[in-house]
């Protein structure tokens, strides 16, 4: 883990507004400081490459589409006066069609796939690991009642290409909660990101590999055969939803694929609450991150886009409203700020 510069660390300590608020729908009483052991990247050649366009682990219970029909508005998506084509933004560029944004984002993540995990450490000074560990602990995958055998759990990790969240989920369920019946599907629209995740998955224990599958898909419109309605217990997305071409559509699709009582959980960048931390954070984001992207990954433009996409993402209260408009029940505050709002965890439950 890269060392944290003294200025940024001092600002983070001074902000200390990252108090933990009770997470709605959390089944965990574990401390946010619980450390999930990092996974080795050592490869084993005995495991065949995983692929799936349909995923039998998700099942098909024939549940009808239960998406909420509310006409939610997305501040970043509009309809042109000349026709019905929807437009959105790509970073700070407005008036981009949704299809063009999808293509551009695909290009960004194809470019950064190989260096993505290393750059996450450099860009966040290792904080992304702390946030992800806490995110997974707060969801407590694999927690079972006194039932024997343990209850199976079906999890879809969206935009999860390299496996950072999915591998933590499997470790937590299988090792901490000792529930081997938890299955995780990693979904991503980008085959380059999935390829990295498939390679990394070869270092997992065999029991965890057997409960992991991959799906190349667009999160705004899953194939109903691959992800049937009402088939999931938990839908997670970490640092990915801000890149979607149509966020309200993705939220409605999340609502469709979850069973009643299922949970939508999102870890995403937020709006910083401390003026001091915000000033330091933005200076680093706009001056430092693109420069590091150029030096380490040879790609300044992709990391410039990623910084701009963070700036354009809705505030925590605004995103909470979008989750509600998609049909989810949001309890209490609805989100938990991490590191003074640099990141935030959002949760919603599909009504019973």
- Note the pLDDT tens digit of each residue in 50-59: 334 334 344 4
Over residues 207-229, mean pLDDT: 96
Q: What is the pLDDT of residue 154?
A: 97
Is there a domain that residue 118 lies in?
yes
CATH number at residue 206: 3.40.50.150
Structural domain for 343, as ranges:
105-349
Is there a domain that residue 160 lies in?
yes
| Beta partners for residue 345, in sequence order | 267, 336
Owner of token pair 């999915």: 166
Q: What is the pTM of this model?
A: 0.74
> What distance in Å separates the CA atoms of residue 274 and residue 281, rounded to the nearest whole number?
10
SS3 227: coil
Q: What is the pLDDT of residue 92?
A: 67
Residue 301 burial class via C-beta count within 10 angstroms: exposed 0-12, middle 13-18, buried 19 and up: middle
> Which residue intervals of 79-126 are DSSP H helices?
98-112, 116-124
Region of poorest pLDDT, from 65-69, 82-86, 94-98, 245-249: 65-69
Is there a domain that residue 203 lies in?
yes
* Most confident stretch, 112-126, 221-235, 290-304: 221-235
**Radius of gyration for the chain, computed over Cα atoms and rounded to the nearest angstrom:** 19
Task: Answer yes or no: is pLDDT of 265 > 90.
Answer: yes
Q: What is the pLDDT of residue 148?
A: 61
Is there a domain that residue 90 lies in?
no
Task: Answer yes or no: is pLDDT of 47 > 70.
Answer: no
Task: Answer yes or no: is pLDDT of 67 > 60.
Answer: no
Is there a domain that residue 40 lies in?
no
Is there a domain that residue 204 lies in?
yes
SS3 29: coil
| Cα torsion 101, 107, 111, 116: sign | positive
Over residues 164-184, mean pLDDT: 96
Tell me how far CA of residue 236 lies from CA of 42, 215, 262, in angstroms. Answer: 26, 14, 11
DSSP state of 233: E
pLDDT confidence tier of residue 206, bands split at 50, 70 and 90: very high
Tally of domains within the chain: 1
Is there a domain that residue 73 lies in?
no
Over residues 8-26, mean pLDDT: 41
Is there a domain that residue 249 lies in?
yes
SS3 177: coil
Residue 203 burial class via C-beta count within 10 angstroms: exposed 0-12, middle 13-18, buried 19 and up: middle
């Amino acid at each position: 883990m890269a060392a944290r510069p003294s200025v940024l660390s001092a600002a983070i300590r001074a902000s200390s507004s990252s108090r933990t608020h009770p997470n709605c729908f959390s089944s965990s009483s574990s401390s946010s400081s619980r450390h999930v052991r990092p996974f080795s990247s050592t490869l084993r050649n005995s495991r065949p490459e995983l692929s799936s366009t349909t995923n039998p682990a998700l099942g098909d219970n024939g549940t009808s589409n239960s998406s909420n029909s509310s006409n939610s508005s997305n501040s970043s998506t509009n309809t042109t006066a000349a026709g019905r084509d929807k437009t959105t933004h790509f970073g700070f560029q407005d008036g981009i069609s949704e299809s063009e944004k999808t293509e551009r984002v695909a290009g960004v993540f194809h470019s950064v796939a190989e260096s993505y995990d290393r750059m996450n450490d450099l860009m966040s000074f290792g904080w992304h690991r702390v946030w992800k560990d806490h995110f997974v602990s707060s969801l407590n995958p694999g927690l079972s009642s006194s039932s024997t055998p343990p209850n199976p759990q079906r999890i879809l990790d969206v935009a999860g290409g390299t496996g950072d969240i999915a591998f933590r989920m499997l470790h937590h369920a299988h090792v901490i909660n000792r529930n081997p019946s938890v299955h995780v599907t990693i979904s991503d629209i980008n085959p380059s990101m999935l390829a990295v995740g498939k390679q990394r998955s070869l270092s997992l224990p065999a029991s965890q590999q057997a409960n992991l599958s991959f799906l190349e898909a667009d999160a705004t419109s899953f194939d109903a055969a691959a992800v049937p309605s009402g088939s999931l217990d938990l839908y997670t997305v970490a640092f990915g939803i801000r890149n979607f071409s149509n966020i309200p559509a993705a939220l409605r699709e999340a609502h469709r694929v979850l069973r009643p009582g299922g949970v939508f959980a999102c870890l995403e960048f937020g709006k910083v609450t401390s003026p001091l931390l915000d000033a330091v954070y933005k200076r680093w984001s706009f001056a430092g991150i693109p420069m590091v992207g150029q030096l380490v990954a040879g790609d300044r433009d992709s990391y410039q886009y990623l910084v701009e996409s963070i700036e354009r993402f809705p505030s925590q209260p605004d995103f909470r409203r979008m989750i509600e408009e998609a049909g989810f029940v949001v309890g209490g505050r609805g989100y938990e700020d991490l590191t003074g709002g640099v990141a935030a965890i959002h949760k919603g439950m599909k009504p019973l």
